């Protein structure tokens, strides 16, 4: 039976984070994850997690200034990037989150690549002492033009270069589906570095029982390859979240 994690960056956005965690539990999710929880005191988030028995699988580092999309690959911004990493790790440790997604930001070129690798090395070292995984995620060029990390091949190269065992790939079926396709083959090729899986329909990032990707087939393939961690539902509901969950029961049976 396939289990799912509710991404509270998109689901139940009309609720506070603690309320959204409780709503996810009531809806049958096995875990939660979110983008930027920092406006909610960690003790409130942890209380909701403890009350529901759900685990927070991961959170993101902050985006930076308005219009930015992460800091870790921006040359000359290392102090800010590492402050964002340290902030995320501290919050994650307080709530028992398993992973931190370090956002690269809009950048390109060799200097950006070196900056990103150095910041990821710092992040992985600090996270290892806390038992936390560091994730990096390629974002598709349609939604995030100019984002530093754009392909899974680029992500593998960076992960290999940094060489930290707790640095992994966020395998987002939506982003990969929009830029590379062939989801099941890409997952097989990348299985050794995957740290988390997310999904949404392609191309509209809506609920997963529509669009170009056959998630019943994809989820069955992931299970056959031994993936048993709850899959991250990071989609944009068209209306109230509770009314968008008709996909859960059928796809959980895969």
Taking a C-beta distance cutoff of 8 angstroms, is the pair 64, 88 a contact?
no
Long-range contacts of 178-186 (CB under 8 A, 24+ apart): 178/140, 178/142, 178/143, 178/202, 178/203, 179/138, 179/140, 179/141, 179/142, 179/150, 179/151, 180/151, 180/152, 183/213, 183/218, 184/217, 184/218, 184/221, 186/152
**What percent of the chain has pLDDT above 90?**
100
Arithmetic mean of pLDDT over the chain? 98
In the predicted model, what is the mean pLDDT of residues 182-201? 98
User: Domain map of the chain by residue range?
Assistant: 4-252
Catalytic residue among 43, 80, 90, 234: 234
Structure confidence at residue 241 (pLDDT):
98
Residue 234 among the catalytic residues: yes
Structure confidence at residue 121 (pLDDT):
98
Taking a C-beta distance cutoff of 8 angstroms, is the pair 74, 107 a contact?
yes
Residue 80 among the catalytic residues: no
In the predicted model, what is the mean pLDDT of residues 92-98? 98
Catalytic residue among 33, 80, 137, 212: 137
Residues 143-186: tens digit of each pLDDT:
999 999 999 999 999 999 999 999 999 999 999 999 999 999 99
* DSSP letter assigned to residue 199: E
Residues 2-17: tens digit of each pLDDT:
999 999 999 999 999 9
- Check if CATH label 3.20.20.150 holds for domain 4-252: yes
In the predicted model, what is the mean pLDDT of residues 33-54? 98
């Amino acid at each position: 039976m396939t289990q799912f994690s509710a991404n509270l960056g998109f689901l139940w956005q009309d609720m506070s984070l603690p309320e959204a965690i409780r709503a996810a539990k009531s809806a049958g999710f096995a875990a939660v994850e979110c983008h930027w929880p920092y406006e909610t005191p960690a003790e409130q988030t942890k209380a909701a997690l403890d009350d529901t028995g759900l685990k927070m699988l991961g959170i993101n580092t902050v985006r930076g200034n308005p219009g930015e999309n992460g800091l870790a690959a921006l040359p000359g911004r290392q102090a800010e990037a590492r402050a964002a990493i340290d902030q995320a790790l501290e919050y994650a440790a307080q709530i028992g989150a398993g992973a931190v997604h370090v956002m690269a930001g809009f950048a390109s070129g060799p200097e950006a690549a070196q900056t990103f690798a150095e910041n990821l090395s710092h992040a992985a070292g600090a996270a290892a002492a806390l038992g936390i995984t560091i994730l990096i995620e390629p974002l598709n060029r349609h939604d995030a033009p100019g984002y530093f990390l754009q392909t899974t091949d680029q992500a593998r190269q960076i992960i290999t270069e940094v060489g930290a065992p707790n640095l992994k790939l966020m395998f987002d079926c939506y982003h990969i589906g929009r830029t590379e396709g062939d989801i099941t083959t890409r997952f097989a090729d990348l299985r050794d570095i995957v740290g988390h899986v997310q999904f949404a329909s392609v191309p509209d990032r809506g609920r997963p029982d529509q669009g170009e990707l056959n998630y019943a087939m994809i989820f069955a393939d992931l299970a056959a390859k031994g993936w048993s961690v709850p899959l991250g539902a990071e989609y944009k509901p068209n209306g109230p979240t509770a009314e968008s969950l008709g996909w859960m029961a059928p796809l959980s049976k895969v």
